[in-house]
């Protein structure tokens, strides 16, 4: 069955090359420029060919999203060496925010855009959006550690983790959606950082 295996491998390789081209377009040109036609041009295929490897654009975006979550997980790696619960949580928040600013397009794909979530819905899995859940679980675990250590009062780690996520997520999306325009350009650069400092204070204070 050597031939069948090679074919399978070739197929996943071509699938991956589509994803690579799409990701490249995403990062290089922004998500508005990521059209099926542009992806097709980049890999010198016909647009119709992409539909042999992905059901539709949402499915492609979903695959791309999963790949991007791999990157974020990588960023989170080092954080789990930190012992102090509040500091570990604030480090996670910091990494989240840094990732959002460093890769705004990927961040939007992961946490803002509708397309990938439509694919998640369409799949109708029992455990939808596993990659998102896995990322969130890291926050929950860090929070639970803090509660167990008596640093945080609130009993429900999931609720507290959601609040922490939402806090940083809110700062990131306010900035990335240009809603920080209400601040002058100089202020805009620093106020997010100041807000994060205040957030860290709140965290260390015990939540």
Partner DNA sequence: CAAATATACTGAACGGTGTTCAGATTTACC
Partner DNA sequence: GGTAAATCTGAACACCGTTCAGTATATTTG
Interface with DNA by CB under 7 A: which residues?
Answer: 3-4, 7, 10-11, 14, 33-38, 44-49, 51-52, 56-58
Per the CB < 8 A criterion, the answer to whether 110 and 176 are in contact is: no
Give me 120's structure tokens. Answer: 């998640």
User: What does the alpha-carbon distance between residue 59 and residue 96 come to, in Å, rounded to a whole number?
Assistant: 25
Q: How far is the CB of 111 from DNA (least distance, A)?
A: 20
Q: How many helices (H) and strands (E) does the chain have?
A: 10, 0
Among 10, 73, 133, 189, binds its own copies (CB under 8 A): 133
**Contact of residue 46 among its own copies, DNA, none (CB under 5-8 Å per partner type):** DNA
From residue 87, alpha-carbon distances to 70, 102, 132 in Å are: 23, 22, 22
Nearest to 34 by CA among 123, 113, 120: 113
Interaction between residue 151 and its own copies (CB under 8 A):
no
Rg from Cα positions in the chain: 20
> What residue 163 binds from its own copies, DNA, none (CB within 5 to 8 A, per partner kind)?
its own copies
Q: What are phi and psi of 29, to 5 degrees?
A: -115, -10
- Least gap, CB of 143 to DNA (angstroms): 38
Binds 57: which of DNA, its own copies, none (CB < 5-8 Å by kind): DNA
Structure tokens at 48: 């119709």
Q: Which of 45, 82, 136, 138 binds its own copies (CB under 8 A)?
A: 136
Contacts with its own copies, residue ranges (CB under 8 A): 111-114, 117, 120-121, 128-129, 132-133, 136, 154, 156, 158-160, 162-163, 165-171, 173-174, 177-179, 181-183, 191-192, 194-195, 198-199, 201-202, 205, 207
């Amino acid at each position: 069955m050597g031939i069948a295996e090679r074919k399978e491998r070739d197929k996943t390789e071509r699938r991956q090359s589509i994803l690579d081209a799409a990701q490249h377009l995403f990062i290089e040109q922004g998500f508005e420029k990521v059209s099926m036609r542009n992806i097709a041009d980049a890999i010198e295929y016909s647009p119709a060919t992409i539909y042999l490897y992905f059901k539709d654009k949402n499915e492609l975006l979903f695959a791309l999203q999963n790949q991007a979550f791999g990157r974020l997980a990588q960023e989170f790696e080092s954080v789990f060496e930190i012992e102090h619960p509040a500091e570990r949580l604030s480090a996670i928040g910091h990494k989240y925010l840094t990732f959002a600013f460093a890769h705004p397009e990927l961040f939007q794909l992961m946490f803002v855009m509708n397309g990938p979530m439509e694919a998640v819905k369409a799949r109708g899995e029992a455990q939808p959006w596993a990659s998102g859940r896995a990322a969130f679980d890291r926050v929950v675990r860090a929070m639970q550690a803090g509660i167990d250590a008596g640093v945080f009062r609130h009993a429900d780690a999931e609720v507290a983790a959601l609040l922490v996520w939402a806090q940083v997520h809110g700062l990131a999306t306010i900035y990335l959606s240009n809603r920080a325009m209400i601040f002058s350009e100089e202020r805009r650069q620093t106020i997010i950082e100041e807000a994060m400092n205040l957030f860290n204070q709140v965290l260390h204070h015990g939540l």
